[in-house]
Amino acid sequence: MRKKIVAGNWKMNLTLAQGEQLINDILQAGLKLKEGQEVIVATPFPYLQKAKSLLKSYPGYFVAAQNCYSEKSGAYTGEVSAEMLQSIGVDYVILGHSERREYFQESNAMLAKKIDLVLAAGLKPIFCCGEPLEIRQAETQNAYVAKQLEESLYHLTEEQLKNVVIAYEPIWAIGTGLTASAAQAQDMHAFIRSQIANKFGREAALHTSILYGGSAKPGNAAELFANADVDGGLIGGASLVAADFVAIIEKLA
Ligand code: PEP
């Protein structure tokens, strides 16, 4: 069946020494991951190789980049390609985080290109989707998320989709302390799965891991993860504190 995943998104936080300490503290907890469970650490670019070297002998632990560029290679000063990430042993790439959509004007069409490059490099995208507050208040969140899925993922084959993880992150819940209720999360995750089933078939939909992100913490993770269509979490703030991140991983069903 599909994987259960807890991924930590460090964003632009921590020095290399602090990041190393955080990973060592997580490993020190000696978690016994069950079959099909994965822990992913999404570090800033400069720490990816170090993170990989610390985690590579621990089964079930993987490394993610937080972004990559939408072109394969060339004169794009300051950018990082999917192939470069593959060449240093990165496993996953977060794409379409709401902060990138907002501050760097990443469109659904641009994200479709990034998804293609990440898959072509043999990496797995963690595709983020989710609605802003005004859309939730207008109760049009399903149409909003459906459009994100359609414009960034629907050009893929069923085979390609198997390597995509989806993260539902309602923007109003990211870093705000507001969490979607377990019922709101389940409703949207079930909706996303039904959309995937309509487009790619039931088997593909059952295979796709859909993570919840938005102020998840040790106190609410169990309730969120207990839902049938919530396959784990993408964790921001709480992933920076080893004890909290470990406690969230322990809530994986
Ligand atoms: C995120 O940025 O992906 C996120 C979920 O952040 P937080 O957990 O801090 O809300």
And the tokens for 135?
């859309």
What mean pLDDT do residues 128-157 have? 97
3-state DSSP assignment of residue 227 = coil
3-state DSSP assignment of residue 108 = helix
**pLDDT for res 177:** 84
What mean pLDDT do residues 230-240 have? 98
Residue carrying the six token digits 């290679």 = 73
**pLDDT for res 84:** 98
From 234, 239, 245, mutation site for ligand 1 pocket: most ligand atoms within 8 A of C-beta: 234
What mean pLDDT do residues 101-126 have? 98
Share of the chain above pLDDT 70, in %: 100
pLDDT higher than threshold 80 for residue 224: yes
CA-to-CA separations, 13 to 1, 34, 183, 187, in angstroms, rounded: 34, 29, 31, 32
Task: Output the CA torsion 178→128→62→214 (10° steps).
Answer: 0
Segments making up each domain of the chain, as ranges: 4-249
pLDDT band per the 50, 70, 90 thresholds, residue 131: very high
Alpha carbon of 46 to ligand 1 centroid (Å): 21
Q: The domain at 4-249 falls in which architecture?
A: Alpha-Beta Barrel (3.20)
pLDDT higher than threshold 80 for residue 253: no
More confident residue, 174 or 245: 245
pLDDT one-digit tens code per residue, 176-193: 888 899 999 999 999 999
The whole-angstrom separation of Cα 140 and Cα 45 is: 35
Name the residue at shortest CA distance from atom 4 of ligand 1.
236
Contact 22, 50 (CB under 8 A): no
Whether residue 237 has its Cβ less than 6 Å from ligand 1: yes
3-state DSSP assignment of residue 45 = helix
Whether residue 170 has its Cβ less than 6 Å from ligand 1: no
What mean pLDDT do residues 149-173 have? 97
Determine which one of 106, 131, 169, 189 is catalytic.
Answer: 169
The whole-angstrom separation of Cα 178 and Cα 28 is: 30
Q: Could you count the other beta carbons within 10 Å of the beta carbon of residue 101?
A: 20
